[in-house]
């Protein structure tokens, strides 16, 4: 399959057989793919999109809904919730995992809750996080009394994500023996499993349909978090803005841990403008957490004029572009000395060891797997009416797409949306559309991109739908 880890094959070696150029080349290709994987952009956990949870002053109030794809090695679901403000005695964080509900008593500040889990591999597990309180007034828009403080979900993830067998060791490549070759192959297999088990969340991203929000524009923003792998040094935000109000002074500001790392002035000319904002995240120490806050601000003219419409399609950590390891190609019947043969295998071993080192230094990222939210929390489950629905979007790198919900369509090409009509959510239209799910109850599906038209590697796609709770990409291979 054509995912970034797809199509890899791991040969076995036996004493007495010719040293196969075919097999050695398979190892070289595995090294190059793994080197690419450890440097590819990494998704940031999406706390939610659009409005802050404290905008939803109801009791109880759903503050995060989404899902995670279970992997067989995982044992624990971790939920991190930041509670900024006073905790009342009856306040609870209610976590529902696949219809099993657990209440946690929060404290002020960071709360880390864990729940044990054991599901079949590749099962999509739905997760809801709700605030409930016996100390606050009953629900009913707009205000329970007293109001909820600022609460947001910092992370929902499962762990550990890792092969359930030991990483084999290979000493410096001496003679070309069956044991050495098989151990080297198994190292690459192990690393491919370690990276390939990881499911990449495809987040729903901010799209503002209505800009008529007077002075609360800063509330429309994208919040998320990441644990920075040492390999990744920048945050990249991509999207586009439709400027219908020309001549305004607006910008998109990217903050990490409350420090602005990048800003992009929105053009003043009417039209569609794409953007890519990149800022350094090295101020966040490796394996530490960064809280991402992306805002659209308008300083002029007066706030009563609507800001322009922004769509964010991608928020990722990126690694510096460096050349891939230089490894000689293995050709059938290629002539060389035994010393050269050993040095070529040693080059493979060294490159593999470097990937392993990078993996070891970034296990805080790779050994956990983020859940991904269901579009916006502000939807019919909270308000009993349909709000604009953000499509999930991603630049395809995987072999297969995982979707969970009732109805979902993959949309490619020039994207436009239709205004809501009655109870229908916003339907995003594209020049190429493929149905992924079509049911009346939530279900999951794994669909290989090879079977979905017009989704080559690297292409931007959107997934829209009705009651669409989760989208992710499977890097595949194993």
Least distance (Å) from another protein to the CB of residue 314? 25
Interacting stretch for another protein, rule CB under 8 A, among 13-21, 94-102, 148-156, 260-268? 13-21
Residue from 333, 384, 440, 456 binding another protein (CB under 8 A): 333
Q: Running DSSP on this structure, what letter comes out for residue 16?
A: T
The site that binds another protein (CB under 8 A) totals a number of residues, namely: 45
Residue from 86, 299, 339, 422 binding another protein (CB under 8 A): 339
Choice between 123 and 132, CB closer to another protein = 123
Contact 5, 37 (CB under 8 A): yes
400 binds another protein (CB under 8 A): yes
Q: Which of 104, 195, 119 is closest to 151 using CA atoms?
A: 104
322 binds another protein (CB under 8 A): no
Contact 414, 464 (CB under 8 A): no
Least distance (Å) from another protein to the CB of residue 191? 17
Name the 3-class secondary structure at 128: strand
Name the 3-class secondary structure at 126: strand
Whose structure tokens read 């004493």? 15
Choice between 74 and 447, CB closer to another protein = 447
- Spatial separation of the C-alpha atoms in residues 224 and 200, rounded to whole Å: 15
Least distance (Å) from another protein to the CB of residue 124? 14
- Spatial separation of the C-alpha atoms in residues 256 and 427, rounded to whole Å: 32
Choice between 22 and 453, CB closer to another protein = 22
Strand order in the sheet with 221-227: 45-48, 221-227, 289-300, 249-256, 259-265
CB atoms within 10 A of CB 103: 11
Site for another protein in 18-37 (CB under 8 A): 18-26
Least distance (Å) from another protein to the CB of residue 449? 11
Least distance (Å) from another protein to the CB of residue 332? 4
Choice between 9 and 135, CB closer to another protein = 9
Contact 396, 449 (CB under 8 A): yes
384 binds another protein (CB under 8 A): no
16 binds another protein (CB under 8 A): yes
Residue 18 CA to chain centroid, in angstroms?
44
Token pair in block for residue 200: 């990449």
Residue from 169, 171, 258, 337 binding another protein (CB under 8 A): 337
Residue from 120, 320, 332, 422 binding another protein (CB under 8 A): 332
Least distance (Å) from another protein to the CB of residue 409? 18
Tell me: cis bond preceding 443? Omega within 30 of 0 counts: no
Residue from 110, 331, 357, 414 binding another protein (CB under 8 A): 331
C-alpha torsion angle, residues 349, 353, 354, 357 (rounded to 10): 180
11 binds another protein (CB under 8 A): yes
Site for another protein in 433-462 (CB under 8 A): 445-448, 450
Choice between 175 and 384, CB closer to another protein = 175
Backbone φ and ψ for 23, nearest 5 degrees, come out as -70, -45
Q: Which of 405, 69, 406, 376 is closest to 221 using CA atoms?
A: 376
Interacting stretch for another protein, rule CB under 8 A, among 205-213, 246-254, 336-344, 363-371? 336-344
Token pair in block for residue 187: 């190292």
- Spatial separation of the C-alpha atoms in residues 65 and 156, rounded to whole Å: 10
Choice between 9 and 101, CB closer to another protein = 9
444 bridge partner residues: 404
Q: Which of 239, 266, 272 is closest to 250 using CA atoms?
A: 266
Q: Running DSSP on this structure, what letter comes out for residue 399?
A: S
Per-residue binding string, another protein, 183-212, x by CB under 8 A, is ------------------------------
Residue from 342, 363, 407, 413 binding another protein (CB under 8 A): 342
Choice between 24 and 266, CB closer to another protein = 24
- Spatial separation of the C-alpha atoms in residues 247 and 267, rounded to whole Å: 8
Choice between 422 and 458, CB closer to another protein = 458
Choice between 10 and 51, CB closer to another protein = 10
219 binds another protein (CB under 8 A): no
Contact 307, 248 (CB under 8 A): yes
Residues binding another protein (CB under 8 A):
1-2, 6-7, 9-26, 175-178, 181, 330-339, 341-342, 400, 445-448, 450
């Amino acid at each position: 399959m054509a995912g970034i880890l797809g199509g890899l094959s791991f040969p076995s070696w036996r004493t007495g057989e010719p040293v196969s150029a075919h097999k050695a080349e398979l190892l070289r290709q595995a090294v190059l793919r793994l080197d690419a994987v450890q440097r590819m952009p990494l998704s940031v956990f999406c706390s939610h999109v659009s409005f802050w949870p404290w905008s939803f002053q109801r009791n109880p109030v759903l503050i995060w809904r989404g899902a995670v794809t279970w992997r067989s090695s995982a044992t624990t679901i971790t939920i991190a919730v930041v509670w900024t403000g006073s905790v009342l005695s009856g306040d609870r964080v209610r976590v529902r995992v696949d219809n099993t509900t657990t209440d946690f008593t929060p404290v002020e500040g960071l709360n880390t809750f864990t729940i044990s889990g054991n599901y079949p591999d590749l099962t999509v597990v739905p997760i809801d996080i709700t605030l409930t309180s016996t100390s606050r007034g009953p629900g009913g828009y707009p205000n329970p009394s007293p109001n909820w403080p600022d609460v947001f979900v910092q992370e929902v993830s499962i762990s550990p994500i890792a092969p359930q067998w030991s990483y084999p060791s290979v000493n410096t490549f001496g003679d070309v023996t069956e044991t050495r070759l098989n151990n080297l192959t198994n190292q690459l297999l192990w690393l491919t499993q370690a990276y390939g088990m990881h499911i990449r969340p495809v987040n729903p991203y901010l799209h503002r349909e209505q800009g008529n929000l007077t002075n609360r524009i800063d509330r429309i923003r994208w919040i998320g978090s990441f644990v920075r792998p040492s390999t990744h040094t920048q945050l990249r935000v991509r999207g586009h803005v439709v400027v219908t109000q020309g001549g305004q002074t607006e910008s998109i500001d990217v903050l990490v841990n409350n420090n602005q790392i990048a800003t992009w002035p929105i053009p003043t000319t009417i039209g569609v403008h794409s953007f890519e904002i990149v800022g350094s995240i090295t101020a966040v120490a490796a394996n530490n957490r960064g809280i991402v806050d992306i805002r659209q601000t308008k300083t002029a003219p007066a706030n009563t004029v609507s800001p322009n419409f922004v769509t964010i399609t991608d928020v990722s950590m990126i690694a510096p572009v460096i050349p891939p390891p230089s490894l000689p190609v293995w050709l059938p019947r290629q002539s060389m000395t035994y010393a050269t043969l050993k040095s070529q295998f040693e080059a493979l071993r060294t490159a593999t060891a470097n990937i392993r080192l990078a993996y070891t230094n970034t296990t805080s990222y790779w050994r956990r797997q983020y859940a991904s939210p269901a579009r916006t929390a502000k939807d019919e489950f909270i308000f009993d009416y349909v709000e604009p629905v953000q499509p999930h979007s991603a630049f395809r790198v995987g072999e297969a797409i995982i979707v969970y919900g009732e109805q979902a369509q993959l949309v490619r090409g020039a994207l436009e949306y239709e205004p809501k009509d009655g109870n229908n959510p916003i339907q995003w239209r594209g020049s190429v559309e493929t149905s992924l799910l079509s049911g009346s109850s939530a279900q999951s599906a794994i669909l290989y991109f090879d079977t979905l038209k017009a989704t080559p590697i690297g292409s931007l796609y959107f997934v829209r739908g009705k009651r669409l709770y989760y989208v992710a990409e499977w890097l595949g291979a194993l």
